Structure 1
């Protein structure tokens, strides 16, 4: 029997097909998911969508068979991005399941599940039960206490046009100055959604890798890795673009490149969008995770907002957004969350905000974003270690002698140094890795702190 502990992660299902999971596993998970949402809320239907990977259609159909077997209906939204699935779950007010492995290589696939209204499901909020019931089904058991009254039915619904209209209703680009926009879809779902969402606007789109291809023939669909931004950076300069946008495989994240071909940090994008959302006067709370630049809470306060710091991860961001009724949230990994989008993450809506901010004034993107970029950052640096806890303890001890150094352990170890430099060191949930992020007032100081901490981590 497949070992579901290896594929059901903290927030989703993710693994190699067919080695780690296949249609039989998808069918069991579909049954368990349907029973969970029925018992929790009385849900009568589930909406599904899938990306362009070869295994996505058979897996999603097997999942649907499991849902139908528990008497719930399935609404198939078909080919789409993850945030399009969240739109469907939000606008239809039904639970949803997106079949994608996001930025992972071609042999992977996965499921991102949510409650009605795009509310998250994680290990502590449903995934553990879904996994337990799925395991019982795969072993030939029947873990359920009720008999469904009959089989559910399947309907198809193309929500791409509705999704596009909804996003364009949130950010009006019709009056901006003309912009040349280079878009790298990475052969992922941005190639499907961008032409629809950005059509009819004063934008000249220069498309890169819009062909849907789950083998990712040009580069991995993971713009967080600088190597996968190189093509876009060169193309922006070559075409004289005003801005470059790179989407990950399931197009729920967006990365921004300025007119010089230089990446704009997700922290700067977070600050820029936060200022725009605060200016609307419909909310004051902005969520940011603890890896985000110190500039973000500073800028939020300067514009009359209240920054709230959270752990890394979408379930924590979404929980804090619900608790505080935050209007917006951003992460260093280029996930952007909007109250107006059911508190879900959408790279496309973030991209519309950046395009609007650029097109509503005459400065270049590098000039516009300079005011949101105040410090030097290392980016996330991974180190493979055998004893993560021991390495973190050694780093804490090394800095503990200075009474002016402050520590917190909200997520890993964050060390705040007296001169304004800080770093966070946290262990991966799934791999023997320590992740380091450093920020400092200038590049020289950042390099000094980074190298000192890495020396201890990798000793």
Structure 2
């Protein structure tokens, strides 16, 4: 048998599409068969499988498991839960990899798969290779078994192991995503007073879209914090691997600001350690890490790429603007919003200040939202190279880690190609509005020279 996936679902970091349109039950089965062959090729015989709370996750999981077992691999079912719970399962169970059925933070009609094998994320070229293997019908035959394992309690136990924080008044918003049931158990183990909203799993997301990095989705959490006069609020995305937060004044604490707060205790424990953030992060963060005696490292955007860089450098902590926070210090190195929340409570505790006071003390900058520019797939990377070459020729200060990041006396601006869409993404940050205007003018000028027009600003 052979199977062709819709090429749009074979993405950089995972497999993801619209159920019933670009992603079907047949795709889930074929992925199981193809992944089984890849696993057996590496002598991996047992794979943990979890799913999020979407309405079609159970159906896709069943088809995936049928494919895995018919391909000769045993499936260990960890049930419905956040992606980090499945990642945790791969570390503590006798398994050789894992697959989470999840649409992450996408709308309700999306779903997909995050893949792990032998301690690594399967991403990039490996995902493309799975597509080729399925099309060629390179499948193994076998008779794998399935077993169910209840792991939620062990996961919650591990989340609070060694916790040394104080009790605060905290609001939580699980956004009806898969982290809800774990959150309900977690807050019973933490000191303080906790108020959780939307912790009931509902794959239709009736209250708001489960993406805490979009400020509009934090309105309910801000309201809760204001109404109950809480110390701060924490929100999760649909599969619990990205965190959002607000302080007592309702100000959003962005991914790089969270990382700046979390870095303190980690560098206290591991002086001089490397802390990684993606190229979208504020210069304020990199300066803060250096000030704390750490080695700031700017790296490419994308959770699989960050995880790989952490392994290479031995960094105890990393993060992205998108709210993925990775702890290797006292944890396993994967992105886990529930664990990041626990560590945030600890970090605020040891600071001796409130989260609001910590935010007040942060250097104030002005930043744009992500600016997006439509561009043909074939021109996407070429345009960035043109801009880089022009700027380098002009003697500009350019960092080409991932796209082009340009530093000037006003601040910095970034232009990079999206890994998942036919767009260029830009961002700028300066000390004041006139400086920001000058930076944005530079971006527009460079793109005009490459005949690219801005389409929209996405907040």
State the alpha-carbon separation in 2 of the partners of residues 346 and 378 from structure 1.
27
Go from structure 1 to structure 2 and tell me whether the alpha carbon gap of 1:172 and 1:4 turns closer, same or farther (over 3 Å shift): farther
State the alpha-carbon separation in 2 of the partners of residues 251 and 161 from structure 1.
16
Q: Is it true that 1:439 corresponds to 2:429 in the alignment?
A: yes
- Deviation readout 1:56-75 (Å, 9 max, x if unpaired): 01101111111111222111
Question: SS in structure 1 opposite 2:136?
Answer: helix
State the alpha-carbon separation in 2 of the partners of residues 55 and 19 from structure 1.
13
Q: Please say if residues 395 and 453 of structure 1, whose CA atoms lie closer than 8 Å, have aligned partners that are also in contact.
A: no
Q: Please say if residues 47 and 77 of structure 1, whose CA atoms lie closer than 8 Å, have aligned partners that are also in contact.
A: yes
User: Structure 1, unaligned stretches of length 5 or more?
Assistant: 138-142
What is the deviation of 1:448?
3.6
User: Structure 2, unaligned stretches of length 5 or more?
Assistant: 455-459
State the alpha-carbon separation in 2 of the partners of residues 34 and 448 from structure 1.
53
Task: State the partner residue of 2:97.
Answer: 95
Go from structure 1 to structure 2 and tell me whether the alpha carbon gap of 1:446 and 1:83 turns closer, same or farther (over 3 Å shift): same
Task: State the partner residue of 1:121.
Answer: 122
Q: Is it true that 1:424 corresponds to 2:414 in the alignment?
A: yes
Q: Please say if residues 184 and 199 of structure 2, whose CA atoms lie closer than 8 Å, have aligned partners that are also in contact.
A: no
Go from structure 1 to structure 2 and tell me whether the alpha carbon gap of 1:264 and 1:7 turns closer, same or farther (over 3 Å shift): same
What is the deviation of 1:444?
3.8
Q: Is it true that 1:271 corresponds to 2:260 in the alignment?
A: yes
Compare 28-37 and 425-434 and name the one that shifted more: 425-434
Task: State the partner residue of 1:413.
Answer: 404
State the alpha-carbon separation in 1 of the partners of residues 209 and 453 from structure 2.
27
Q: Where do residues 220-239 of structure 1 align in structure 2 (5 Å cutoff)? A: 220-239=209-228
Task: State the partner residue of 2:76.
Answer: 75
State the alpha-carbon separation in 1 of the partners of residues 197 and 60 from structure 2.
28
Compare 351-360 and 156-165 and name the one that shifted more: 351-360
The alignment's TM-score, normalised by the length of structure 1, stands at 0.90
- Deviation readout 1:251-273 (Å, 9 max, x if unpaired): 11111100000101211111111
State the alpha-carbon separation in 2 of the partners of residues 107 and 356 from structure 1.
37
Task: State the partner residue of 1:367.
Answer: 357
- Deviation readout 1:388-435 (Å, 9 max, x if unpaired): 4576467558856753x2123221121111x15111111222322111
Task: State the partner residue of 2:14.
Answer: 12
- Deviation readout 1:272-315 (Å, 9 max, x if unpaired): 11221111137712111111111222222222222222111112
Question: SS in structure 1 opposite 2:161?
Answer: helix
Task: State the partner residue of 2:457.
Answer: none
Q: Please say if residues 231 and 354 of structure 2, whose CA atoms lie closer than 8 Å, have aligned partners that are also in contact.
A: yes
Number of equivalences: 443
Go from structure 1 to structure 2 and tell me whether the alpha carbon gap of 1:385 and 1:130 turns closer, same or farther (over 3 Å shift): closer
State the alpha-carbon separation in 2 of the partners of residues 265 and 205 from structure 1.
22
Q: Is it true that 1:322 corresponds to 2:311 in the alignment?
A: yes
What is the deviation of 1:181?
1.0
What is the deviation of 1:337?
0.8
Q: Please say if residues 97 and 113 of structure 1, whose CA atoms lie closer than 8 Å, have aligned partners that are also in contact.
A: yes
What is the deviation of 1:31?
1.2
Go from structure 1 to structure 2 and tell me whether the alpha carbon gap of 1:25 and 1:212 turns closer, same or farther (over 3 Å shift): same
What is the deviation of 1:234?
2.4
- Deviation readout 1:326-354 (Å, 9 max, x if unpaired): 11111111101121433211111111111
Task: State the partner residue of 1:135.
Answer: 135
State the alpha-carbon separation in 2 of the partners of residues 376 and 91 from structure 1.
44
Q: Is it true that 1:163 corresponds to 2:155 in the alignment?
A: yes
Go from structure 1 to structure 2 and tell me whether the alpha carbon gap of 1:383 and 1:348 turns closer, same or farther (over 3 Å shift): same
- Deviation readout 1:193-230 (Å, 9 max, x if unpaired): 21112213223222222221111111111122222122
State the alpha-carbon separation in 2 of the partners of residues 398 and 251 from structure 1.
41
Q: Where do residues 328-339 of structure 1 align in structure 2 (5 Å cutoff)? A: 328-339=317-328
State the alpha-carbon separation in 2 of the partners of residues 30 and 22 from structure 1.
13
Go from structure 1 to structure 2 and tell me whether the alpha carbon gap of 1:9 and 1:389 turns closer, same or farther (over 3 Å shift): closer
The alignment's TM-score, normalised by the length of structure 2, stands at 0.90
Q: Is it true that 1:153 corresponds to 2:155 in the alignment?
A: no
State the alpha-carbon separation in 1 of the partners of residues 290 and 57 from structure 2.
44
Q: Please say if residues 99 and 114 of structure 2, whose CA atoms lie closer than 8 Å, have aligned partners that are also in contact.
A: yes
Q: Please say if residues 2 and 21 of structure 1, whose CA atoms lie closer than 8 Å, have aligned partners that are also in contact.
A: no
State the alpha-carbon separation in 1 of the partners of residues 53 and 346 from structure 2.
29
Q: Please say if residues 5 and 131 of structure 2, whose CA atoms lie closer than 8 Å, have aligned partners that are also in contact.
A: no
What is the deviation of 1:238?
1.8
